[in-house]
Structure 1
């Protein structure tokens, strides 16, 4: 069993990671950190290096905390929602944790497409968290 977290280095990503760490400790389960990119022209070598450095920091923090974990950087042309649901199924995930952005009143009418797909397609529970002031 494992806890799956979708992580990008944003306030929302840090909030999701913090909540997933707490769940992994509480449940004494493995934490699988998934960083998913579609790739393409917008994902150049500098961007890839920035994300690799950030994931290295995440891995060191989890090592220091003594949390069993795996960090996956995926650039397979998939939408992040597709990657998270796949990893959850492969890893016998019991929970997926995602971060949500704050939206304008108009934006609140439509939930983010990745978040919506994860909520609808995941076969396990999904915990959606918002960033706090300290993220």
Structure 2
């Protein structure tokens, strides 16, 4: 059994990773962490640096979670990478983080989260980051 998590180095990505770890532990599943970039910009803040990914690996090891970490840069958008990974590994669950959006932002179609929710062949668990204040 495999659980796929779409990870970005943001509070939403951290919330998704934390929930995915809990789900993998409960199901004794392998966790597949996907952090991708299209590779079309010199700087992509959503693509985690090596030290961040090393920290994730250490975190997963400390929890005893069997895992695979992939950081593809193939010109595909994040939704395609997560959906392709889920299909390739016959995922039982996809975990993604959601960010708060403005009312206008909610009208705009084509978000990564929306595409994963609509196109995934397995259940999708969408989580929000904890907000303070």
TM-score of the two chains, using structure 2 as the length reference: 0.90
Structure 1: where are the runs of 5+ without partners? none
Distance 2:115 2:62 in 1: 33
Distance 2:131 2:83 in 1: 29
Distance 2:87 2:33 in 1: 14
Tell me if structure 1 keeps the 8 A contact 2:37–2:46. no
* Superposed displacement of residue 133, structure 1: 3.1
Change (3 A) 1:14 1:49: closer
Tell me if structure 1 keeps the 8 A contact 2:8–2:47. no
TM-score of the two chains, using structure 1 as the length reference: 0.89
More strand per residue:
1
More helix per residue:
1
The answer to which of 85-94 and 35-44 deviates more is 35-44
Counterpart in the other structure of 1:3: 3
Counterpart in the other structure of 2:16: 16
Counterpart in the other structure of 1:116: 114
**Alignment size in residue pairs:** 132
Could you tell me which of 84, 87, 90 is aligned with 1:89? 87
* Superposed displacement of residue 112, structure 1: 5.7
1:74-131: CA deviation from partner (whole Å, max 9, x where unpaired): 1111000000000001111000000011111222334661111111111101111110
Moved segments of 4+, more than 6 Å: none
User: How large is the Cα RMSD of the aligned pairs?
Assistant: 2.0
Counterpart in the other structure of 1:40: 40
SS in 1 for 2:55: helix
